[in-house]
Amino acid sequence: MRVDAMSGTRLLYNLRFRAILYQVIAVGSIVLLGLYLFSNVSQKLAEQNIATGFGYLSREAGFVISQTLIDYKPTDTYGHAILAGIVNTVWVSAWSVVLATIIGLFVGIARLSRNPLLALLAFLYVEALRNVPLLLYLFLWYALIVTSLPAVREAWEILPHVFLSNSGLTVPSLLWTGAHTIVLLALVLGGALGIFVHRRATALRISTGKTRTTWPWVALALLVPPMLAILIVQPDLTVSLPEKGRFRLTGGAQLRPEFTALLVGLALSASAGIAEIVRSGILSVRKGQWEAARALGLRDGLTMRLVILPQALRVIIPPLTSSYLSLFKNSSLAIAIGYPDLVMVSNTTMNQTGQAIEGIAIFMLVYLGLSIMISLFMNWYNSRVALKER
Amino acid sequence: MTTATDIAEAQLKMPVRREPDIGRRLLHRTLKPLIGTPLNAVITLACLWVLWLGAKGAYGWLVTRAVTEGGAQACKVGNGACWPFYEAKLRFMIFGVYPYDEQWRVLLAMILFLGAMGITMIPRFWSRNLLVLWGVTIVATAILIGGGVFGLSYVPTTQWSGLPLSFLLSAVGLAFGFPLGVVLALARSSTLPAIRVIAIIFIEVIRGVPLISILFMASVMLPLFMPSGVTVDKLLRAQIAIIIFAAAYIAEAVRGGLQAIPRGQHEAASAMGLHYWQAMRLIVLPQALKIAIPPLVNISIGFFQDTTLVTIIGLLDFLSTVRTAMTDPNWVGIAVLEGYVFAAFVFLVFSYGMGAYSRFLERRMRLGHD
């Protein structure tokens, strides 16, 4: 009888057996589906004489990319063109993240203001941005820049040497050389050193209980490396100022309409979401915490910085991560207004080579990789601010 | 040295503050947040200035400077809202290239659809009958829009466009994405490793890439994956992409709901002798879905807006028909703001309505739990 229990229909009632059976069925059907699709694809590709593989990446691209951050010429390879697209995507997303965070923080705090007018304005701002599709805003900003701003010849000088026209925003720029990069690195090093010195001072204060004046040391740590770097490499500080000529603006750096519209659209739409996240984060901190901090004699600013924000951050960071991620993914809408981001460059490449599978695979992998990197970084940051439970 | 008694005596000697009358108290309460401190007064003034600018601009554009008669030329001269544009193009913006004489069918379908949606939104009507209602609505709208039976002329999907198309893409996307999403969420929280891994990979890949790339994949790659001779309708391809996208996001919302159900519920179900599917269907999912309703409504709002992306692969959704209306040779460059303002207004009305509904649900749910 015992043997019987393990055979035939009885086997189907064995939980272990069923678990294995389900998994085999799931994996098997996916493998079969994959094989079926693969055979279809290879047949189609053979019929249509489309090459396969990533060999095309080293061929000459031959198309122009209207704005690139890294050097790119039409004679460069497809691989190089795609790299230029990736850099453009990262560039516009990074600036948008910075802008969106700053605006979002202010609007989020303004939503909680005791001044009803300010709270109302912030509310209108958030609702107007959240309830209209981003794509519509992108089209709108782009159309407004191109159609309602004056031509280059009559560009508005909104600040000295800052011109606004239908070909974008023209700002003064620094002629960037290797020496500048070294100074920038020294600045970063100085910042790191400053943080280190500040930490040491705090640790010393906690262990000895004596308060010393520390800011001169921090300032010294901040300033010495960049100063040294400037003295050593002596960077050329020529600023290229845009000037209005008869027909066009000369000099300076130009933020093209596509870039400006995308930057503004992405930053504003994300800022509305971030404002709501900040608001709910601050609201999640109990009122008693404010009262306790006041009872200890802390000023409002200090209360916010030392008591409220550290607790609010725990609530803020996880949704903030997803709004950064969606901003990054939304930058792919660039293709609608013609900013040459990764998607647009890949699209051009696909049209020229006909290799759709490889093209889409590349840009999906890049997005996936960068998304994972952003979320890993934010998770690391989150684990630092998260509640440490003992 | 002040002691407690000193303070008490000092308080006794203080003149008693008269309570101000109600009118003054109200005035005080409204004015204090506005001009209580100098900084507050400055903020108030700045806000008033911004509101004044906005109101003046909107009033001027919509009323005083508006062009109410004449054609495109009149609008070209004026710089206010161009009402003749709306008059000439409103029907096209809403219904797109759907055959002009047959547009009553789409209108009727939209009324049916919005009616069914309105009924669904009222918690009192939440029952199994809703499934029947939706079944009938979907069949009726499909017959009305597509035609080909009951003497209705056949309209190919290439002519489905405008606002009805946006509704269709988001509604069908959600309707099919929902069951798929629930299955994915269950798979992701399954104890069987192979099934869990498959679900995780699917969900994370779809959520990690932009919707555009999935749309591209559907429009460019899907034909390659089909056997020779089989072609899939362009609209259907976009719809499949949207369903897949919806499913991944819905799965995460449902997973949140599943995680909120205490282990005891699973254990109690097992103790009652229910097997996995019974326990899920009767005990766990009803509770989990109830918790997940507010995030699901939020996903739906985002979704309605995200369907505008099908513009990029060349489908004529609402945003796309509005843009097409604006590029009509007679109106090109004249009614830029008009078109976008109209589209934004329509999206604002529907999204804000859904958002308000989501907040109502959240309040209701909270009451239900206490």
Print the SS3 string covering B227-274. CCCCCCCHHHHHHHHHHHHHHHHHHHHHHHHHHCCCHHHHHHHHHCCC
Say which of B43, B208, B336 has its CB closest to residue A143.
Answer: B336
Taking CB atoms and an 8 Å cutoff, what residues of chain A touch B306? 133
- B155-310 has which fold? MetI-like fold (1.10.3720)
For B323, the closest chain A residue by CA position comes to: A139
User: pLDDT by residue (tens digit) across B263-273?
Assistant: 888 889 989 88
Q: What is the pLDDT of residues B312-329, one digit of tens each?
A: 888 888 999 998 888 888
CA nearest to B72, candidates B89, B58, B60, B57: B89
Would you tell me which residues 99-118 of chain A have a C-beta closer than 8 angstroms to some C-beta of chain B? 113-118
What pLDDT is recorded for position B3? 67
- Interface A:B, Cβ pairs < 8 A: 144
Other residues' Cβ atoms within 10 Å of the Cβ of residue B172: 17
Q: What is the mean pLDDT of residues A146-171?
A: 79
Task: Select from B363, B171, B189 the least CA-distant residue to B284.
Answer: B189
pLDDT at B23 over 80: no
pLDDT value of residue A1: 44
CA atoms within 13 A on the CB side of A223: 6
Q: Which residue would you say has higher pLDDT here, B311 or B152?
A: B311
**Distance (Å, whole) CA A230 – CA A236:** 10
What is the pLDDT, as a whole number, of residue A254? 78
pTM for the whole thing?
0.83
Domain range list for chain B:
155-310
Q: The complex's ipTM?
A: 0.85
Q: Residue A246: pLDDT band by 50, 70, 90 thresholds? A: low
Nearest CA in chain A to B195: A23
Is a pLDDT exceeding 90 seen at residue B180? yes
Average pLDDT across chain A, whole number: 84
Per-residue pLDDT at B370 exceeds 60: no
Cβ distance A116 to B34 less than 8 Å, yes or no, reads yes
Tens of pLDDT, residue by residue over A192-228, are 888 888 888 888 888 887 777 777 888 888 888 888 8
**DSSP output for B325-343:** HHTSTTTTTTSHHHHHHHH
Contact A372 B311 (CB under 8 A): no
Q: Select the highest-mean-pLDDT range: A47-51, A207-211, A281-285, B225-229.
A: A281-285
Nearest Cβ partner for B312 among A37, A148, A335: A335
Q: Give contacts of B211 with chain A, Cβ < 8 Å.
A: 329
Q: For residue A177, is pLDDT > 80?
A: no
What pLDDT, on the 0 to 100 scale, is given for residue A308? 87
Q: The tokens of B112 are what?
A: 């049916």
Answer yes or no: is pLDDT of B299 > 80.
Answer: yes
Contact A121 B312 (CB under 8 A): no
Predicted local distance difference test score (pLDDT) of residue B369: 46
- Chain-centre distance of CA A110, in angstroms? 24
Alpha-carbon span B217 to B214, nearest angstrom = 5
> Which residues of B are less than 8 Å from A343 in CB distance?
210, 212-213, 216
